[in-house]
């Protein structure tokens, strides 16, 4: 194992930092070709200065680079934000929108606002979100609740809609909320969970789903992008397998919406849920979304029957009559303020184009893989996720026994990834707000800290 040279600077992000002749200079992914390799250009990435110059070249060629200026800058200690798949950065437009809402809408209109657009905001914003990020025709997406609540409502309704079927399929690597909610639904309905145990470095495959679905399967619940590894599941193939057995499928899109193109209608998906505070930049606690295919809406009866889902909410009479279409999947008062920030991000996604966002995302994740090979593998770091572009979501998981200890110290240095047990550091890359230079500076700090542990 090569020992890094002694230098006079302790900050590897300082352009005056001495060069490191031990860094690898192997072939690098080409962002324009979504991860394909090409011969190294003239920039010498065997040095720290060269790595930063290479990052600057990538930023200069990035057609979305100017959009980074639309986001509120970080604080004075900011080096790199690598957790955009947990909480997106706020837009400058959102600061203005929130102030305008207080001064121009909430204060002067008060309760009249409900008749002037607030009541319809879950479905109108849902249609916008569906059109721009989900491949969903109007009338199938609603913005409401938290992901946990929306997941419960749609999963519970799906199981009830398949009477006599006794099994729910889910995987052991799925996000805890999904597993916990399904455990509760199984207990309520007398069904049993059928567990898929995928390779943590990969994810759930169509073959694994085919092996456990059958005439007793009521529902299959999976994440489109695995929250740990970043593995991108084959949603069309898996959905088709479940349908062959008459089962319904619910996709968790928390790590897909806004960064990976999704085609729910074209894939014949039944149900989907997701959050809006990651790549949709809705802010902490912003509401979730739910998708129900139009062909199923009259068949499903959601279990949390609140007044806002009633056919005539202001009649306030006895008994519950569900509303038409997606209104029946609303329970309580719409989170109007919580919907404001995501409107700005949806406008930005529309301006950039989701395909361009995906291209930038693949370029960023390819660059993380390049730098991991160049800077980190010699310190024992492993890539614990897919390397193939077609199987990668918007983040990369790196693994090392020291990451539990190092991630809090990285935060103190202004480098913000997140930690996932047992020893994973997740590098989340929000394409519209993240630069290649940020990634380079961050992973140089990671390399320095790992080297200092020897």
Residue 221 sits in a domain of what CATH number?
3.40.640.10
307 and 430 assigned to the same domain? no
Overall domain count for the chain: 2
**Contact by Cβ (8 Å): 17, 48:** yes
Q: Is 387 a catalytic residue?
A: no
**Predicted local distance difference test score (pLDDT) of residue 23:** 33
Residue 427 belongs to what domain range?
28-91+353-452
CATH number of residue 71's parent domain? 3.90.1150.10
331 and 226 assigned to the same domain? yes
Question: How far is Cα 186 from Cα 177, in angstroms, rounded to an integer?
Answer: 14
Where is average pLDDT lowest: 22-36, 151-165, 207-221, 438-452? 22-36
Q: Is 228 a catalytic residue?
A: no
Q: Specify the residue for token string 């397998």.
A: 241
189, burial (CB in 10 Å: exposed 0-12, middle 13-18, buried 19+): middle
Q: Is 343 a catalytic residue?
A: no
Q: Is the pLDDT of residue 377 over 90?
A: yes
Q: Is 231 a catalytic residue?
A: no
pLDDT averaged over every residue in the chain: 91
In a domain, 248, yes or no: yes
Confidence tier at 397 by pLDDT (50, 70, 90): very high
Q: Pick the catalytic residue from 54, 278, 378, 441.
A: 278
Strand order in the sheet with 382-383: 382-383, 395-399, 424-428, 418-420
Q: Pick the catalytic residue from 81, 152, 231, 277.
A: 277
> Quick count: other Cβ atoms within 10 Å of Cβ 1?
6
In a domain, 253, yes or no: yes
**Contact by Cβ (8 Å): 5, 48:** no
Q: CA torsion, points 30, 36, 41, 45, in degrees to nearest 10? A: 80
**Predicted local distance difference test score (pLDDT) of residue 111:** 96
Q: Pick the catalytic residue from 101, 175, 180, 419.
A: 175
Q: Pick the catalytic residue from 252, 270, 344, 418.
A: 252
- Pair of tokens at residue 180: 């916990």
144 and 257 assigned to the same domain? yes
Q: Is the pTM value of this prediction over 0.85?
A: yes
Q: Is the pLDDT of residue 45 over 80?
A: no
Q: Is 278 a catalytic residue?
A: yes
In a domain, 6, yes or no: no
In a domain, 14, yes or no: no
287 and 426 assigned to the same domain? no
């Amino acid at each position: 194992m090569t020992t890094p040279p002694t230098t006079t600077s302790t900050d590897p992000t300082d352009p005056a930092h001495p060069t490191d002749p031990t860094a690898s200079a192997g072939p690098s992914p080409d962002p324009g070709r979504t991860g394909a390799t090409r011969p190294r250009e003239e920039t010498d990435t065997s040095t720290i200065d060269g790595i930063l110059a290479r990052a600057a070249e990538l930023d200069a060629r990035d057609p979305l680079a100017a959009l980074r200026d639309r986001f509120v800058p970080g604080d004075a200690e900011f080096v790199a934000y690598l957790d955009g798949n947990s909480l997106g950065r706020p837009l400058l437009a959102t600061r203005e929108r929130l102030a305008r809402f207080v001064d121009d809408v909430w204060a002067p209109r008060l309760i009249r606002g409900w008749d002037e657009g607030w009541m319809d905001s879950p479905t109108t914003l849902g249609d916008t979100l569906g059109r721009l990020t989900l491949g969903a025709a109007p009338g199938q997406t609603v913005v409401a609740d938290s992901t946990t609540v929306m997941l419960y409502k749609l999963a519970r309704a799906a199981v009830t809609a398949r009477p006599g079927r006794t099994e729910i399929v889910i995987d052991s690597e799925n996000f805890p909320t999904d597993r916990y909610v399904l455990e509760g639904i199984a207990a309520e309905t007398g069904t049993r969970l059928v567990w898929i145990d995928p390779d943590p470095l990969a994810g759930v495959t169509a073959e694994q789903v085919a092996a456990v679905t059958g005439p007793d399967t009521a529902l299959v619940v999976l994440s489109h992008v695995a929250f740990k590894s970043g593995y991108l599941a084959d949603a069309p193939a898996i959905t088709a397998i479940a349908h062959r057995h008459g089962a319904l499928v619910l996709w968790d899109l928390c790590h897909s919406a806004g960064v990976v193109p999704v085609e729910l209608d074209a894939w014949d998906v039944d149900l989907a849920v997701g959050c809006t505070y990651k790549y949709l930049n809705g802010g902490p606690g912003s509401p979730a979304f739910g998708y129900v295919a139009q062909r199923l809406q009259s068949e499903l009866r959601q279990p949390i029957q609140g007044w806002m889902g009633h056919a005539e909410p202001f009649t306030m009479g006895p008994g519950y009559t569900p509303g038409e279409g997606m209104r029946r999947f609303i329970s309580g008062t719409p989170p109007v303020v919580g919907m404001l920030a995501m409107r700005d991000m949806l406008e930005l996604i529309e301006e950039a184009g989701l395909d361009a966002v995906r291209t930038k995302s693949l370029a960023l994740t390819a660059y993380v893989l390049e730098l991991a090979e160049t800077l980190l593998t010699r310190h024992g770091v492993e890539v614990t996720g897919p390397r193939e572009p077609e199987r990668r979501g918007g983040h990369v998981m790196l693994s090392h026994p020291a990451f539990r200890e190092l991630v809090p110290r990285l935060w103190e240095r202004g480098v913000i990834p997140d930690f996932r047990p047992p020893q994973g550091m997740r590098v989340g890359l929000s394409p519209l707000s993240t630069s290649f230079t940020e990634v380079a500076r961050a992973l140089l700090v990671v390399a320095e800290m790992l080297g200092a542990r020897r």
